Amino acid sequence: MAGRRCGWRLCGLFGVVILVSGCAQHGDGQSKAGGFLERPFEGDYPDGWPFDHDLPLNVFSSAMMSSPGVLTWRGDNVVLPWGEGDGHDGHDWQLPEGTPLVATADGVVTVAGLDRPVRCGDRDVQAVVLRLRHDRPDGEVFESIYGHLSVLQVAVGDQVRGGQRVGLSGSTGCASGPHVHFGVRRLTGTNSGEPAIVDPFGWQGRFPDPWALHPRGAESRWLWRGAAPAGDFLLRSGRAPDQTGPSAAGEK
C-alpha cells in the first residue's frame, strides 16, 4: 500500500497536467445510492496515482517495474509517465505535510502505528498507517486505510465518528514526497471470502471490471457520500482509452 512512486514530484515535469476535482459527477451508469464515505481530508488535491483495476496487487513486486501502465476507472488504460506504477491498491492524494485527515465514516480504529518494513531504494522503511473498520447496517463491512501519516491522533480500539480528526498526512515509509495513500477494503462480499481491496470510485469502464471478476477481487462500488475527492488522474498519456478490454494491460 505504501507509495513507492506516487508521482507527486513528477507531476510538474510533464507537459500535460489535467486536474479534475470534485468528481462526484463521474460514475454515470453506476448507482451512487448507499455511498457512506466522506472525503478523508478537506480541500482539493491532485490524485497522483490511481487505483489499478487490473490486478491491484503488484506494488513492490518486480511486475510493477516492468508494466507500462494501469487500468483504472472508466476503463482507461493509462501509461504513467515515469514508466511504472502498475498494481496500485489505492489513491495517492498529494497533500502537503501535516494536512489534517478525518475519518471517512463512523467506525473503530483497528490499526494505528508502523506498517511492516519495506525495502525502499537502499534502506528499509516503515510507514505510519491507520485503518478504520466500518460495520454497515446492511451487514457489509469495509475498512478505510490511510498511509504515510506523520502524526496519529487516535489509537487502536478508539471509536471514531465520520469527520473526526484522526491524524496528519506525511511521507513516512517509502514515499517520494508528502501525500496520503488512501484505500478501501471490503471485508464482506468478496469473490474469495477474504478481504479484498476495492476502488471507492467504483468502475465506469465500457467492459467488465477485471478486478470484480478476479478470484481474489471484489466489486468496486461508488462509496462516496456527498462530494468525492478528486479521482481522475493527474497525468494522462496521449494514448487513447482502451475500448476493447483489459488485454493491453493483462494480468501480471
Measured from the CB atom, is 126 or 188 closer to Zn ion? 126
Measured from the CB atom, is 79 or 108 closer to Zn ion? 79
Which helix (H) or strand (E) segment is 65 a member of?
Answer: helix 62-66
x/- track of binding to Zn ion for residues 125-164 (CB under 5 A): ----------------------------------------
Q: Could you tell me how far CA 93 lies from the centroid of its own chain?
A: 9
Interaction with Zn ion in 33-92: which residues (CB under 5 A)?
A: 92
Measured from the CB atom, is 108 or 125 closer to Zn ion? 125
**Taking the complex as a whole, how short is the minimal distance between the CB of residue 193 and Zn ion, in angstroms?**
26
**Taking the complex as a whole, how short is the minimal distance between the CB of residue 175 and Zn ion, in angstroms?**
8
HSE of 137, CA atoms in CB hemisphere, 13 A: 3
Torsion angle, alpha carbons of 2, 34, 227, 13, to 10: 30
β-strand partners of 82? none
How, if at all, do strands 69-71 and 77-79 pair?
antiparallel
Measured from the CB atom, is 92 or 209 closer to Zn ion? 92
Contacts of 233 (CB under 8 A, 6+ apart): 18, 47, 50, 72, 76, 78
x/- track of binding to Zn ion for residues 164-183 (CB under 5 A): -----------------x--
Measured from the CB atom, is 3 or 107 closer to Zn ion? 3
The three three-digit cell numbers of residue 88, written as one number: 496500485
**Taking the complex as a whole, how short is the minimal distance between the CB of residue 252 and Zn ion, in angstroms?**
18
**Taking the complex as a whole, how short is the minimal distance between the CB of residue 54 and Zn ion, in angstroms?**
16
Q: Binding residue for Zn ion (CB under 5 A) from 3, 7, 178, 202?
A: 3
Q: What is the largest CA-CA distance in the chain?
A: 47
CA 7 – CA 234 distance, rounded (Å):
9
CA 12 – CA 8 distance, rounded (Å):
8
x/- track of binding to Zn ion for residues 89-108 (CB under 5 A): ---x----------------
Q: Which residues bind Zn ion (CB under 5 A)?
A: 3, 92, 181
